[in-house]
Structure formats: structure tokens, C-alpha cells
Amino acid sequence: MNALIWAGVMLIGGTGSVVRFLADGLVASAADRDFPLGTLAVNVSGAVILGLITGLALGHEQALLAGTAAVGSYTTFSTWMLETQRLTEERQHRIAAVNVIVSLALGIAAAALGRLLGAQL
């Protein structure tokens, strides 16, 4: 594992975070609802892509760059939890519960679907 790989992890991780910000903003402003749809869209699409990468069975360094760095930085756990917690502060308990359950259910299904697709390629 050389310095070039780690520089790549940083460059790709920074880019993945910017793409997340743009995609979240685009979906959230188009949806315009209480439900945090932007984060859900980012996380579920990221789960499909990471599933696909897993299915491709890449080499170790390729998997680190494409999976851990790119897709890992594109998706976010912390914002998902922040939005859920803030919904409960606003007494939107039902929406908060739906956000947790739907994200997990769609996330696992998306990862499974992506892996299936990846294995076909």
C-alpha cells in the first residue's frame, strides 16, 4: 500500500463527498418534503453501486478506491442519524421511524440487487 493509493483515497473521498452534497441538494429541493429524501436517495443508490462493486470481485486496491473511498464517502450514516434525531425533536416520530426502517430495508435490498448485477458482468 503506497502513498499514491492513499492520495487516491483522499482525492476520491473528497469528490464522493461533493457528489453527495450535490445529489442530496438536487433531490431534496425537487422533493420539497419533511421526509429527508435526499439522504435516502444517496444512500440507496450508493448501496446499489457498492453491491455491484462487491459482485465484481475486484482486486484489493481497486476495491479500496472504488468501494471504501468512492462509494463509502458518497453515502452517509451520520446525516441519516442526524435527520432522524431532528425529526423526533420536531415530534415527527412516525416519519423518523419510517426513515430508519425504509433506509435499512431499501439499503439491504439495493446492495443485494447491485451484487446480483455485478456478478452478471
Partner 1 sequence: MSEPSPPHAGLPSDGMAATAPAGAGRTGVRARRMLPQVDRREVAAIFVGGALGTLARAALAESFPRPATVWPWPTFAVNIGAAFLLGYFVTRLAERLPLSSYRRPLLGTGLCGGLSTFSTMQVEILKMLDAHAWGLAAGYAAASVAAGFAAIQLASAMVRRVRVRAR
* Residue 114: partners with Cβ closer than 8 Å, 6 or more residues away: 47, 48, 49, 50, 51, 52, 53, 54, 55
User: At its nearest, how many Å lie between partner 1 and the CB of residue 25?
Assistant: 4
Residue 98 CB, shortest distance to partner 1, in Å, is 13
- DSSP designation for 57: T
Q: Quick check: helix, strand or coil at residue 66?
A: helix
Say if residues 47 and 75 touch (Cβ distance below 8 Å).
yes
Chain residues binding partner 1 by CB under 8 A are: 1, 6, 9-18, 20-22, 24-26, 28-30, 36, 38-39, 43, 46-47, 49-51, 54, 64, 67-69, 71-85, 100, 103-104, 107-108, 110-112, 115
Minimal distance in Å, beta carbon 59 to partner 1? 14
